[in-house]
Chain A
């Protein structure tokens, strides 16, 4: 595939993510921070975000599996995920976290379990698209570094 076609594919993907609300304006901040001195910034942040999110989701699953749920701990983790998703522009994940915190406040275990599923669903949906995004970015950068030789 030509460099131009790759770029078109990437732009198309990112635009559709914006349109669907998977990403919000904050993602534009990430795009703006990627430049010649930081060519891999988006990849770096996305990778950090995914690793961190999966760690948090694992912790939440464990915590909600307990007979007696420690809602303070659950809330602290959801708050963290809400923060990081907000920072990278992961809008649907962020909104799912907001809902989740409501159930935490109410000490509603059923609600929390359902909310966790929603967060997971949104996260993995996003993660799939991020994976494609990173693959395209890598291929584009490989092209671009070849051109510089």
Chain B
């Protein structure tokens, strides 16, 4: 599943790095999720933001062309799996999130086994033409109510 690319150092499993964008308005929860991710694997690189708006900026998906995306454009064109986190186990809302494209739903508070599950979402893309570089993938963990607009615009993130 994880193809090695002979990356320098071999610290990460098969040279695969998974970048996770954590979106949550609570600083406590952001730090908690970051701690859980880092503990569960050296492969996880965490960027944490406090709103959906900020997430779009980081991904370079805003309308404003002047924004400098933090994530490189190449990886942005690949589909980014979105996983929703919420403290409320509401089936209707959960299925609505899935219907508009969320991969999965995790009930808060997050625990180690929840985070281990995330590794399965970091799927490699088709053959990367570049050799000798670490392949990066982005995963987005989004708290269900972290933007003022209650409906996450997930279709905007499924960019191929």
Check if A38 is an interface residue, CB within 8 A of chain B.
yes
Of B39, B108, B112, which one neighbours A83 at CB under 8 angstroms? B108
A28-47 interface mask toward B, CB cutoff 8 Å, 1 = contact, 0 = none? 01101101001001001100
Known contacts A82-B87, A87-B108: does B32 contact A52 (CB below 8 Å)? Answer: no
Contacts of A86 in B (CB 8 A): 87, 108-109
The distance in angstroms between the C-alpha atoms of A108 and B142, with both chains bound, is 32
Q: Which of B9-17, B20-28, B59-67, B121-129 contacts A (4 or more CB under 8 A)?
A: B20-28
A32 touches B112 (CB 8 A): yes
In this complex, the interface size class of chain B, counting residues with CB under 8 Å from chain A, is: 10 to 19
Residues of A in contact, count (CB < 8 Å): 22
Query: Chain A interface mostly helix, strand, loop or mixed?
Result: helix
Which residues of B pack against A, CB within 8 Å? 25-29, 31-32, 35-36, 38-39, 87, 108-112, 145
Which residues of A pack against B, CB within 8 Å? 26, 29-30, 32-33, 35, 38, 41, 44-45, 48-49, 52, 79-80, 82-84, 86-89
Known: A84-B28, A86-B109. 9 other contacts (CB 8 A): A29-B32, A29-B111, A33-B35, A33-B39, A52-B27, A83-B28, A83-B87, A84-B26, A87-B110
